Copies of this chain bind each other. A is one copy, B any other.
Amino acid sequence: MACSVQLVARPKDPAVRTLLIERAAAMLRAREPITLRSLVAGTGVSTMAVYTHFDGMDGLWQALRQEGFTRLGARFTTVPESADPVRDLTTLCAAYLDHALTHPDLYRVMFDASVDLEDLPAADATLEHLVQAARRCQDAGRFRADVVPLDLAIQSWTVGHGLASLVATGPLPPETLGHGPVLLGALFTASGDDPDRCRASVERGWHHPAADDERPHPA
């Protein structure tokens, strides 16, 4: 497990950084406690690398948080645009929940600690996906004219995060996710969509064939 890099000569900067983040994500997935020494153990790099690249463990957690939002954004990008924008908005919410529950530990890191206002842009970037989807719904005449896309995006995010958080942290069992279509359908219908049409769109968007959830990057 010692040698993971093949080219010994390395410009040093970005390689070690991504290696540490990748390893931290792996340890998170394996539910191993992430400590400074256990993180660098086996990688050949020393504890100081964490300080040169992340300025300490707090910086590493923040980088890990941003990595979570980056992966979520990449996941969102794989969601195709169909002719039914309400379905697409639902698909985005379903992708959000799928991402949160496929990587529950990473998801917890994204929201556990107090957000340092450094990674708020990352959160906003992912929220922007929902905003655009909501805007397309409105442009298609599915929602009332007075519906603000940002508001609807926030409301959708609230529903998704509420479900994901309650399930990921433990209080509710995974079956709880079945309430997703009900909640989203209620929200979209209240926004002006036709009830029957909304139900059909949500149902299709919710059970959309999920694309592969990981980018093919890791070693």
* Smallest CB gap from A31: residue in B: B114
Chain B residues near A161 (CB-CB < 8 A):
162, 165-166
CB neighbors of B among A123-162 (8 A): 123, 151, 154-155, 157-162
Question: Is residue A211 within 8 Å, beta carbon to beta carbon, of the partner chain?
Answer: no
Question: Is residue A200 within 8 Å, beta carbon to beta carbon, of the partner chain?
Answer: no
CB neighbors of B among A19-72 (8 A): none
Chain B residues near A115 (CB-CB < 8 A):
169-171
Chain B residues near A172 (CB-CB < 8 A):
154
Most chain B CB within 10 A, of A160, A179, A182, A186, is at: A186
Chain B residues near A158 (CB-CB < 8 A):
159, 162-163, 166, 176, 179, 183
Number of copies: 2
Chain B residues near A170 (CB-CB < 8 A):
114-115, 117, 120
- A166 smallest CB distance to B (angstroms): 6
Question: Is residue A16 within 8 Å, beta carbon to beta carbon, of the partner chain?
Answer: no
Question: Is residue A112 within 8 Å, beta carbon to beta carbon, of the partner chain?
Answer: yes
Q: Would B114 and A169 count as touching, CB distance under 8 A? A: yes
- A50 smallest CB distance to B (angstroms): 21
Chain B residues near A187 (CB-CB < 8 A):
183, 186-187
Question: Is residue A190 within 8 Å, beta carbon to beta carbon, of the partner chain?
Answer: yes
A41 to B215, CA, bound (A): 50
Chain B residues near A171 (CB-CB < 8 A):
111, 115, 120, 123
- A137 smallest CB distance to B (angstroms): 15
Question: Is residue A205 within 8 Å, beta carbon to beta carbon, of the partner chain?
Answer: no
Chain B residues near A191 (CB-CB < 8 A):
186
Given known contacts A117-B170, A171-B111, A186-B187, A179 and B162 CB-to-CB distance under 8 angstroms: no
* Known interface pairs A123-B171, A162-B163; 11 further A-B residue pairs with C-beta atoms within 8 A, sorted by A's residue number: A112-B112, A114-B170, A151-B179, A154-B176, A154-B179, A158-B159, A158-B183, A182-B190, A183-B187, A186-B190, A187-B187
Q: List 7 A-B contacts (CB under 8 A).
A: A112-B112, A117-B170, A155-B183, A158-B162, A158-B183, A159-B183, A161-B162
